[in-house]
């Protein structure tokens, strides 16, 4: 095992925060860890270079420092689906190039925590989506479930899609993103019963949400146990 692929039930469910928190905890446990955000949209210009705020957060938590374009090979300014952004800019998202960047990072690190883009089936080009990227990278998957109305359906469908692709789903993490969500515990109980993999933590709603604050709620030991069995 040389890392994890972090996907989510949708966009805006906290994949970046969970990924950064996981990196923070792995670093504290003595691992050499690199973060990776292969595809990002909604990027901003900094010093004449397009950069992803998500990628920058992963970089800040990692203890392996690598060239930015290895961490974030594809950065697009429009805050839209990556396949549409790439087509508008006459760019092409190559999974082979993403896999090559991951291999370069692993020459420097024990582990690479890769954050996906959007949900599990977000299109990347005319023929491939984020599921193809996860398969290409060959990493066990952790599903971030945004805890809000509709999360049960999204979580069950996402988990089914991950497992039907033959990927190893190591577990799921609940993230409390909606302060007004009612019946939180019954929803969590339903997820624990229906999902066939362990719950690796439930992240509370904290402001500001910082990786070091949510890291204690992530169960690293459970992740490793379920990955190697």
- Which DSSP string do the residues of 185-221 spell out, in sequence order? HHHHHHHHHHSSS-EEEEE---SS--HHHHGGGS-HH
Of 37, 44, 46, 102, catalytic? 37
Q: From CA 168, how far away is CA 197, in angstroms rounded?
A: 10
Q: From CA 111, how far away is CA 223, in angstroms rounded?
A: 13
For residue 127, CA distances in Å to 93, 121, 136, 140, 167 come to 11, 12, 14, 23, 19
Annotation marks residue 37 as catalytic: yes
HSE-up (13 A, CA, CB side) for residue 24: 19
Is the separation of the CB atoms in 23 and 113 below 8 Å? yes
HSE-up (13 A, CA, CB side) for residue 176: 19
Phi and psi at residue 40, to the nearest 5°: -140, 140
Instruction: List residues with catalytic annotation.
Output: 37
């Amino acid at each position: 095992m040389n890392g994890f692929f972090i996907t989510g039930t949708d966009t805006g469910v906290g994949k970046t925060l969970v990924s950064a928190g996981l990196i923070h905890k792995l670093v504290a446990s003595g691992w050499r860890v690199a973060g990776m955000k292969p595809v990002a949209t909604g990027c901003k210009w900094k010093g004449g270079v397009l950069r992803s705020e998500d990628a920058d957060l992963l970089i800040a938590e990692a203890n392996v420092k690598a060239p930015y374009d290895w961490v974030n090979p594809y950065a697009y300014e429009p805050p839209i689906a990556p396949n549409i952004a790439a087509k508008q800019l006459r760019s092409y998202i190559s999974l082979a190039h993403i896999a090559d960047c991951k291999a370069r990072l692993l020459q420097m690190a024990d582990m690479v925590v890769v954050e996906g883009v959007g949900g599990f089936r977000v299109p990347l080009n005319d023929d491939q989506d984020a599921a193809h990227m996860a398969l290409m990278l060959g990493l066990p998957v952790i599903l971030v479930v945004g805890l809000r109305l509709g999360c049960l359906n999204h979580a069950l469908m996402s988990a089914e899609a991950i497992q039907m692709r033959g990927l190893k789903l190591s577990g799921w993490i609940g993230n409390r993103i909606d302060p007004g969500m009612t019946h939180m515990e019954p929803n969590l109980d339903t997820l624990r019963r229906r999902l066939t993999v362990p719950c690796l933590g439930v992240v509370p709603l904290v402001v500001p949400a910082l990786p070091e604050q949510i890291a204690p709620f992530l169960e690293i030991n459970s992740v490793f146990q379920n990955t190697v069995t």
